Amino acid sequence: MDQPTTPPADADARRAVRPVICYPTETLPEAPMALYAAARRTLRTLGEVLVPPRDAACFRVPAGHFFRIHSVEGPQVGDLNLWNAADLSERFYSGKTRALHGTHLTTGDRLWSAFPHLRPMATITHDTLGWYGFDGFGGSVHDVIGTRCDPYTHCLLSDGGQYHHCCHSNLTRALAAETGLPLHEAEAHVHDVLNVFMCTGFTRDTGQYFMKASPVRPGDYLEFFAEIDLLGALSACPGGDCSSEHSSDTAACHPLLVEVFSPDPEMLSGWQPPARSGYDRSHGA
């Protein structure tokens, strides 16, 4: 076996180099939060979808409208996918959203779409868990660091176990039912999620992904402004509040409510959906 590597003489000096923020948020186009704040004071309910526990449901939100994900009945985590309603290839890009806004999202942060589009699909306009911040373990809520619980990882880690109500499968079934796509075609459109209400972080000593009981309580909600016409899918994770385990039927699970709202159209006169990325896509060829 190889010996452990020997630290160089200047190891401490190298570790002491100060970090630099990769993407300073000051360089991002500013979200018109004052406009959204005024518009959200005029909201009228357009419709709602109840997501059953250990299952998922789809919903549609026209550009310029708002939607909320509500905790009802009990603490519950939700796994959110978003697509351009007219083009499933434009979908939420959790990795770039994480690079731009950090590991956990809250009011003012945006959900960005995949290349070559790279534009805001939605902006978070209210977060009743905004008070949580980061706890003593480095945990926070609404992460873009987890992926989604899925039956492949479960099979890998449980010696071949088969479980069919992981968020990945729930989202796949819901998208297939909504679009009429065959199951395996729908599955290819399911992507890494925004973990709504989930409390997660990385352990300070080993850098491992952790979860802990969500601080969400019935009445809490996360609110979004739809920047483009959206098709959404939300799974009520089989992990429930994710205090112990997922990928099984043991955790207490609760439904989640998605509500869609329309603002007074006067409030958004002059507002337009964001343009797609201006990169010319020639890639130097």
Is 199 an interacting residue with respect to Zn ion (CB under 5 A)? no
Question: Given 3-state DSSP classes, what are the helix, strand and coil percentages for the chain, each rounded to the nearest 5?
Answer: 20, 30, 50
- Find out whether the peptide bond into 62 is cis, omega within 30 degrees of 0: no
**How deeply is 166 buried, as exposed, middle or buried, from its count of CB atoms within 10 A (0-12, 13-18, 19+)?**
buried
Is 167 an interacting residue with respect to Zn ion (CB under 5 A)? yes
Is 194 an interacting residue with respect to Zn ion (CB under 5 A)? no
Is 198 an interacting residue with respect to Zn ion (CB under 5 A)? no
For Zn ion, the closer of residues 57 and 237 by Cβ is 237
Number of Cα atoms under 13 Å in the Cβ half of residue 266: 3
212 within 8 A of 199, measured Cβ to Cβ:
yes
CA dist 222 → 42, 68, 136, 145, 272 (Å) = 17, 6, 23, 18, 23
Q: Smallest distance, Å, CB 273 to Zn ion?
A: 30
Q: Smallest distance, Å, CB 129 to Zn ion?
A: 18
Instruction: Choose the binding region for Zn ion from 119-127, 142-150, 206-214, 275-283 (rule: CB under 5 A).
Output: 142-150
By CB under 5 A, name the one of 31, 149, 175, 251 that touches Zn ion: 149
Is 145 an interacting residue with respect to Zn ion (CB under 5 A)? no
Q: Smallest distance, Å, CB 79 to Zn ion?
A: 5
Is 242 an interacting residue with respect to Zn ion (CB under 5 A)? no
> How far is 246 from 213, CA to CA, in rounded Å?
12
Is 56 an interacting residue with respect to Zn ion (CB under 5 A)? no
Is 233 an interacting residue with respect to Zn ion (CB under 5 A)? no
> How far is 231 from 235, CA to CA, in rounded Å?
14
Q: Smallest distance, Å, CB 246 to Zn ion?
A: 5
68 within 8 A of 221, measured Cβ to Cβ:
yes
Q: What is the DSSP string of 195-233?
A: EEEEEEEE-TTT--EEEE-----TT-EEEEEESS-EEEE
For Zn ion, the closer of residues 73 and 264 by Cβ is 73
For Zn ion, the closer of residues 119 and 246 by Cβ is 246
For Zn ion, the closer of residues 167 and 256 by Cβ is 167
For Zn ion, the closer of residues 110 and 246 by Cβ is 246
Residues in contact with Zn ion, counted by CB under 5 A, come to a total of: 3
Instruction: Choose the binding region for Zn ion from 110-118, 143-151, 188-196, 203-211 (rule: CB under 5 A).
Output: 143-151
3-state secondary structure of 49: strand
Residues in contact with Zn ion by CB under 5 A are 149, 167, 237
